[in-house]
Each structure stands twice: as C-alpha cells, then as structure tokens.
Amino acid sequence: MNPLLQTHLTPSDTGVYAERRARLAQALGPNALAIIPTAPERMRNRDADFPFRFDSYFFYLCGFAEPNAVLLIDSSGHTTLLCQAKDLEREMWDGYRLGPLEAPSALGIQSAAPIAEKHAVIAKQLENKHAVWWPFATHEGLGQDVERWLDAVRAKARAGVRCPSMQSDVCAILDEMRLVKDTHEIQTMGRAGSISAHAHVRAMRYSAAALRRGEDLREYHLEAELLHAFRSGGAQFPAYTSIVAAGANACVLHYRAGNQAVVSGDLVLIDAGCELDGYAADITRTFPANGVFSAPQRDVYAVVLASQEAAVAATRPGARFNDPHDAALRVLCEGLLDLGILNRQDAGTVDDVIANRLYSPFYMHRTSHWLGLDVHDCGAYSEPLSEASAGVAPATPLTRPLVPGMVLTIEPGLYIRPAEQVPEAFHHIGIRIEDDALVTADGCTLLTREVPVAIDEIEALMRA
Ligand code: GLY
Ligand code: MN
Ligand code: MN
C-alpha cells in the first residue's frame, strides 16, 4: 500500500546480506528450512496507513524493504524471496515493485516467486526437510500458517514424502548474530548517531534563540526542529517517538512532545534519535531552555554526567552488561547523598543506599539496552547457557560479557519529584544523558558525541 518511501533502500551491496544468510544457513543444521516474513502493513485509521516498516530480522537477511514478502533460506544457503508481483496498475498508485523476475539479481539471491504463490511454494520447500525454523511469537498467525504448510506436506505421506519433525525458533540464532554488529551495521549506526546528534544541536540552538527573540516556544517547536534535522540528514523516520519534556515533564519517563510552553529557567529533556536505513540512534540531552544552567540544575547535571562517565569507563570487552549500570548507580547514589537529596543520617552509606534501593524514587530505570535495527534491540542480557557453568543454569544468571561489536546505550538519569525531605531547589529537576556506545577491542566508542554533554560546551553552543 505505501512502499514508496522505502523502495530506495534496495541494497547496493548485497554481499553483506549473503554473508549473514550463509551464517544462518550453517546454524540451521542439515536439511532445514527457515521461513522469515517481513512485517504486515498496518492501518492507522480509515484508509490511512502507518508508514510501512519492514521486519528487522527479514531486513537483516536481505535488505529488501517492500511489504508482502517472505524469505526462505535452506541449509545450503539457497534463498527464495516471495514478493509482490509486478502490477503496473498497482504501481501507479503505490509505487515501484521490484518483482520476482528482477529480485534475484537485485538482491543477490537464488530465486523468487510471487507472494500469491506463498502457500504452495513453502509447502513444496518443506518436503523431506528435517526441521523448520521460524520466528516464534513475532508474527500473528504465523504458527497457524506453519501448521497448515506442514499439513500439506503430511498429506503426501503415502506418496513417500517426509514431513519435518522439528520446529525451532529462528530468533535464537538471529538474536545472537544481530547482537554483534558487522562493519556495514557499524557504519550505518555511526551515520544515524551523527544525524541524530546534529538534530539535538539544532534543537538546543533553536531553544535559546527563540527565547532570546521573546517567542512563545512550545515543546512541539523543538520536536519540529528534530524532525527537520532527521529528514534533511537523510534518515527515513524517528527511531521512536521523540520525548521533548520541558520543566517538570522531564520527570515523566515516557512523556512525548506536548504543547507545554518552554520558558526561561526550565530544563528541557530531549530523548530522540533517527532511524537510518533501518538502524536506530538513541540520544538524550538535557539542557537549560535559555542556554544557562542554574546552580541547582548544574549540581544535579554534574552528578548525572559523572555517573555516565563512570559507566562509559566500565564499558569494555570482558566487562559484563551490568557493569556500566553498577558503575553509574554508585556515582548517582554518592551524588544523592552529597546533594542532600538523601539524608546521610537516615540513609547511611553509599552501600546502604544501593542495598536498600533508596535511589529508586530518583532513578527507576536501567542504564543500558542493546541498540541496532530495533531501538531496544534483540539479544539476551544474561550469559548464554553454554558459556555458563557446564550448561546448568545458575539460580541468578550473570549478565553476559561484552564483546567488540556490541552496541548499547548508556543513559543514567535523576528525576527529582517534590518530597518533604528533598531540598526545594531540586524539585522537578529531571536529567538524563544518553549516548550510544560501540564496544571496541579495548573499550568503547561513543557514536553520538557530535552533540556535547559538558556543561560549558552546551552553554557555549547555545550562546552561538
Ligand atoms: N528512547 C528509548 C530509550 O531510551 O530507551
Ligand atoms: Mn535508550
Ligand atoms: Mn532514549
């Protein structure tokens, strides 16, 4: 229905997808078939669709961005794409279709067939296979479709056709593959980070300039600046709904961009990133609307920034996923005590604050998540069983060791709602600082630092 926006994504370099498919084929084991559909189109309201967004697993394996498509990959790596047939009348309305004739050469795959032949083609390919792999709990109705295709194979039993006896979750393989980004992905994520960083810079500058001009500045004006920068930078979409939260709204974690006035003296928290060629960036900056931090804002900001620095220092190969969180948490807790937001007499030491979770009214989320094709990307956070003690699951699994090529966010924050024991100067201050870290051979690289985090650098850029 609306593939126009995305058709230009047909890949120029098909080799990266071929390499991924070959790795998947190897992992399927002998005599197996993987069935991976793209996402369905979704209606927003009568006759108006949500913009189409392909399924991330599907896209990862072929780079094909049209709707109504299914990928079939067998153990030998032989790949068939089921896709929309050419239809000049439909294309007049909805846009170009690659079509099954062109698909093999354009995508570097072995064969293609019209999606209308899906049931027959899949049932045929399942004949005499040992196992079928498909993404569990991901596509509504796919489990029933698989049963239906298997039934069609079983119906041929007396003709000597064997039906697969194993069904497995292909996400178990693909999640592990997607967790460690390849060169192509790292380059794309770097560009997504760069476009998103410039969007934040643009919004910061706009905020200070609009207030200097005495304009009626609203949260949605800043969102508009972000969207402008994403699109003019070449990104297709925001990777998630942007958060633009002025003043007390920053303490609402899932606030969107509303119409609240952005006034001098407020902090503004913006959590926004673009999606470029399928890959997400995820950045949060918190800045003074008028470009100058007040003393209490500066104090809290300095704690959050120091906690982020501690987390960044803890992000390196061999460290566990939880190590950056633990490092950030300790600094945040020290800060809560130092600023008198927690009372030392009542709360005790930093270790007491951590053990008794006294930080939780002010810091209620984790510090990191995986990032990639999905903003909260796939991949287990706990240590894979085979690496843990001889395949026996420990009662509390450890988080997994970081390895080069993983990308995670580092996003500590403090959100200070009014409470009797909290000094009034800090009430309603909400600060988060979020960057995207690529684990490297000896530490990590932040992909999103073209927007500054240091107080003096933010103030300088907002003066400009
Ligand atoms: N923007 C979503 C997140 O930070 O997790
Ligand atoms: Mn995030
Ligand atoms: Mn975010």
Query: Average pLDDT for residues 209-235, to the nearest whole number?
Result: 98
pLDDT of 389 reads 59
Among candidate residues 153, 176, 199, the one where a domain is terminated: 176
Q: Nearest ligand to the C-alpha of residue 238?
A: 1
Task: Reply yes or no on whether the pLDDT at 30 is more than 60.
Answer: yes
Tens-place pLDDT, residues 100-124: 999 999 999 999 999 999 999 999 9
C-alpha 388 – ligand 2 centre gap (Å)? 28
Task: Reply yes or no on whether the pLDDT at 388 is more than 60.
Answer: no
Tokens of 101: 């004739």
Question: Could you tell me if 237 and 331 lie in one domain?
Answer: yes
Residue 5 within a domain: no
In whole angstroms, give the CA distance from residue 286 to residue 202. 13
In whole angstroms, give the CA distance from residue 207 to residue 270. 12
User: What CATH number corresponds to the domain at position 28?
Assistant: 3.40.350.10
Query: Average pLDDT for residues 221-237, to the nearest whole number?
Result: 98
Ligand 1 near 411 CB (within 6 A):
yes
Other beta carbons within 10 angstroms of residue 139's beta carbon come to 20
Ligand 1 atom nearest residue 240's Cα: 1
Question: Could you tell me if 212 and 87 lie in one domain?
Answer: no
Question: Cα dihedral angle (388, 389, 394, 399), rounded to 10 degrees?
Answer: -20
DSSP 394: P
Residue 198 within a domain: yes
Instruction: Tell which residue, 221, 228, 204, has the closest CA to residue 460.
Output: 204
Residue 2 within a domain: no
Q: Nearest ligand to the C-alpha of residue 254?
A: 1
In whole angstroms, give the CA distance from residue 278 to residue 187. 12
pLDDT, the chain, mean: 95
Task: Reply yes or no on whether the pLDDT at 165 is more than 60.
Answer: yes
pLDDT of 10 reads 61
Residue 447 within a domain: yes
To test the ligand 1 pocket, which listed residue (255, 269, 411) has its Cβ within 8 A of the most ligand atoms? 411
DSSP 251: G
Tokens of 408: 């995670």
Query: pTM, whole model, 2 decimals?
Result: 0.95
User: What CATH number corresponds to the domain at position 304?
Assistant: 3.90.230.10
The one catalytic residue in 60, 285, 432, 459 is 432
Ligand 1 near 270 CB (within 6 A):
no
Among candidate residues 130, 155, 176, the one where a domain is terminated: 176
Ligand 1 near 375 CB (within 6 A):
yes
Query: Average pLDDT for residues 437-461, to the nearest whole number?
Result: 98
C-alpha 282 – ligand 3 centre gap (Å)? 5
Tens-place pLDDT, residues 73-83: 999 999 999 99
In whole angstroms, give the CA distance from residue 100 to residue 80. 10
Residue 6 within a domain: no
**Do 382 and 399 touch, CB atoms closer than 8 A?**
yes
Residue 70, domain extent: 11-176
The one catalytic residue in 282, 377, 436, 459 is 282
Ligand 1 near 256 CB (within 6 A):
no
Catalytic status, residue 228: no
Question: Could you tell me if 239 and 360 lie in one domain?
Answer: yes
- Give the residues across from 45 on adjacent strands: 48
Tens-place pLDDT, residues 192-207: 999 999 999 999 999 9
Question: Could you tell me if 289 and 404 lie in one domain?
Answer: yes
C-alpha 154 – ligand 2 centre gap (Å)? 46
Residue 149 within a domain: yes
Q: 46 CB contacts (<8 Å, ≥6 apart)?
A: none
Burial of 231 (0-12, 13-18, 19+ CB in 10 A): middle
Residue 386 within a domain: yes
Task: Reply yes or no on whether the pLDDT at 7 is more than 50.
Answer: no
To test the ligand 1 pocket, which listed residue (242, 274, 409, 435) has its Cβ within 8 A of the most ligand atoms? 409
Tens-place pLDDT, residues 318-361: 999 999 999 999 999 999 999 999 999 999 999 999 999 999 99
Residue 103's Cβ-side half-sphere holds a number of Cα atoms within 13 Å equal to 28
The one catalytic residue in 44, 46, 47, 442 is 47
For strands 283-288 and 267-272, give the pairing.
antiparallel
Other beta carbons within 10 angstroms of residue 219's beta carbon come to 24
Tens-place pLDDT, residues 275-313: 999 999 999 999 999 999 999 999 999 999 999 999 999
Task: Reply yes or no on whether the pLDDT at 4 is more than 70.
Answer: no
pLDDT of 1 reads 35
Question: Could you tell me if 307 and 216 lie in one domain?
Answer: yes
Burial of 258 (0-12, 13-18, 19+ CB in 10 A): middle
Number of domains in the chain: 2
Question: Could you tell me if 210 and 318 lie in one domain?
Answer: yes
Catalytic status, residue 427: no
Q: Which residues of 385-420 are buried (b: 16+ CB within 10 A; e: fewer)?
A: eeeeeeeeeeeeeebbbbeebbbbbbbbbbbbeeee
Residue 395 pLDDT grade (very low, low, confident, very high; cuts 50, 70, 90): confident
Task: Reply yes or no on whether the pLDDT at 390 is more than 80.
Answer: no
Strand runs labelled E in 67-171:
70-74, 79-83, 111-114, 131-134, 166-169
Residue 332 within a domain: yes
Catalytic status, residue 49: no
Among candidate residues 146, 176, 206, the one where a domain is terminated: 176
